[in-house]
Structure 1
Amino acid sequence: MVFKKMMRAFGVGGPSVDTVLANPNTRPGLTLDGQVRILGGDHDAAIEQVVLGLVTRVEHEHGDGFVEFHRVPVAGGFQLGAGEQRDLPFAFPVPWETPITDVYGRRLHGMTMGLRTELALAKAVDKGDLDEVAVHPLPAQERILDAFAELGFRFARADLEHGGIHGVGQQLPFYQEIEFHPAPQFAGGINEVEVTFVADPEGVEVILEFDKRGGFLAPGHDAYGRFRVSHAEAETTDWTSVVESWVREASGRYQGLRGAGGFGGPAYSGGHGSHGYGHHGHFRQGPGAGAMAAGIAGGVLGGMVLGEVAEEIFEDDGGDFDFGE
């Protein structure tokens, strides 16, 4: 669904902007295609620049706020006549590390994403149009999420944490955590599992963080695992078996929160408060899609209501959009 908002750019009689997406659904590494439509006001205007940017909500140590994490100029300076309409086509590249917002047509609870249009005129900037977009998982990410569902893990929520993951060639200033409640066979030793994907053109880094339960004589602790998956492996791997082996290997290790990086125990920068480390349409359903989709339909994504998310961020309340909170 494309959200069309015609906003007066710079007072009465100024130009207005409306961005129309051909398809708001995409994946990391693909593009968002569409047009920026600018309509002149009641006088000629000098347009200095038109820019598109991806915007999402990121959690910080002292709260959360909206962050624009990728900007692409659509047009440089040009003159816009009174009443003139100018259509500017674009193909906006979606970064490989862009977080997942939707799985099988359902919004992940806690995720928001929008494409914002900025119109610069006479040294002023108007935030213009904001269109909701849906980022679906890459095939490898989708199969891994399917495998967690097949094993009985239940989706809890997803969020974005400010900071970086030690030892990973991360480009964005945040990372996504997809949280699961443990499967029954692991519930005795694990409170929750957090999955982080860091994708690039060759493959995906998969980082697992386990909140392990304590015992009568032992306190609880976190355990970590880090694994590399190529895009070519997505269709040819028994992911349920692979993910089960990852869980058993990584959850069986003890790694202190301030431990050194490396396989099974990456250290992290940014994120979780006092200890200084955080850890961290055309989309085909895979063989494990039934379990994941059934979990979503059955309320596994508890509290997820797309309309509420859209209303919170994308509904025009008659004022400017504020992404700097």
Structure 2
Amino acid sequence: MLQKLKASLGIGAAKVDTVLESASVFQGGLITGNVHVQGGDIEQAIEAINLKLCTEVKVENDNGTSHVNMILSAVRIMEPFTIGAGEGREIPFEFKLNDETPITALVARKNQCRVWLETALDIDFAIDPKDRDYLEIKPLPVVQSIIAMIESEGFDLVKTDVEKGYLNGGAFSSKSGCYQEIEFKGGGFFGAKEIELSFILDGEMVHCLAEIDRRFGGSGDEYRSFCLGINAGDNEVQTAVEAILSR
């Protein structure tokens, strides 16, 4: 009885550790690995093993700004089973990234984007053991080309974050309930611009919504959007970027 009570408090209970084949993956890619479950001091019933893809989201309201964790997608990889005292079990898994997963592998002055995979054992009447593994989400080559081309025009990548809400680009819209903003600033003063890009991967297409701040030029803000295939060439990328930068 004492051992069961201790296990319910997390003392001597089963533990979980997720080992990823690689913590670095491209947008829309596949996460693979193994979940290691190690039994504790007593036999325990595991109702499920749940994987959750999470990010941190900025929320703005009348009370100010806060940050909350948001689940982008989740999957159950194991049906109920019993783990014996001291028993070890290894469960392989595959987990496809949500298409709207924020990019984290960006060289910005202030990169506030974080993505992680959380693994949890669902155990009745006990503290659920959890494991968190941070991921590096790399931009697809076409997205990297867009960013590099904007930087080559004299813009600095100054900030990235994830905000609560939805995007509507006319021909596309977001679904996850949050979106990433990648912010650039021009190098001049009176002619300076701020550009914020948000990308949505959709199968073989990449959608982009650009918010262009022309405050110093006196024209106000405007929004422009475009769509490119994930295998778009340099000429297509250049045409799209020029449309963003043109006055």
Please classify the TM superposition score into its range, dividing by the shorter chain length. Answer: 0.7 to 0.9
Residue 134 of structure 1 aligns with an amino acid whose one-letter code is E
Change (3 A) 1:127 1:144: farther
Describe the SS at the equivalent of 1:103. Answer: coil
Change (3 A) 1:9 1:225: farther
Residue 182 of structure 2 aligns with an amino acid whose one-letter code is I
Change (3 A) 1:71 1:136: same
Q: Is the 8 A contact 2:196 2:211 kept in 1?
A: yes
Give deviations 1:286-307, integer Å, cap 9, x for gaps.
xxxxxxxxxxxxxxxxxxxxxx
Change (3 A) 1:238 1:190: same
Change (3 A) 1:77 1:229: same
Residue 81 of structure 2 aligns with an amino acid whose one-letter code is F
- Matched residues, number: 235
1:183, CA displacement in angstroms? 4.5
Task: Report percent identity of matched pairs.
Answer: 32
Q: What is the alpha-carbon root mean square deviation over aligned residues?
A: 2.2
Give deviations 1:80-138, integer Å, cap 9, x for gaps.
1111001011111101111100037x896111111111111115452511011100001
| 1:43 maps onto 2:45 in alignment | no
In structure 2, the residue matched to 1:143 is 145
| 1:244 maps onto 2:242 in alignment | yes
Residue 175 of structure 1 aligns with an amino acid whose one-letter code is Y
In structure 2, the residue matched to 1:82 is 85
From 93, 96, 107, the equivalent of 1:93 is 96
Describe the SS at the equivalent of 1:98. Answer: coil
Runs of 5+ in structure 1 lacking a partner? 1-7, 253-325
1:190, CA displacement in angstroms? 3.8
In structure 1, the residue matched to 2:4 is none
Counterparts of 1:11-22 in structure 2, within 5 Å, are 11-22=10-21
Describe the SS at the equivalent of 2:211. Answer: strand
Change (3 A) 1:230 1:50: same
Residue 28 of structure 2 aligns with an amino acid whose one-letter code is G
In structure 2, the residue matched to 1:225 is 224
CA distance in 1, matches of 2:213, 2:129: 41
Change (3 A) 1:237 1:189: same
1:242, CA displacement in angstroms? 3.9
CA distance in 1, matches of 2:47, 2:116: 23
TM value normalised by structure 2: 0.87
Change (3 A) 1:107 1:46: farther
CA distance in 2, matches of 1:107, 1:113: 18
1:171, CA displacement in angstroms? 2.0
Higher share in strand: 2
Counterparts of 1:14-163 in structure 2, within 5 Å, are 14-62=13-61, 63-103=66-106, 109-124=111-126, 126=128, 128-163=130-165
1:202, CA displacement in angstroms? 2.1
Residue 201 of structure 1 aligns with an amino acid whose one-letter code is G
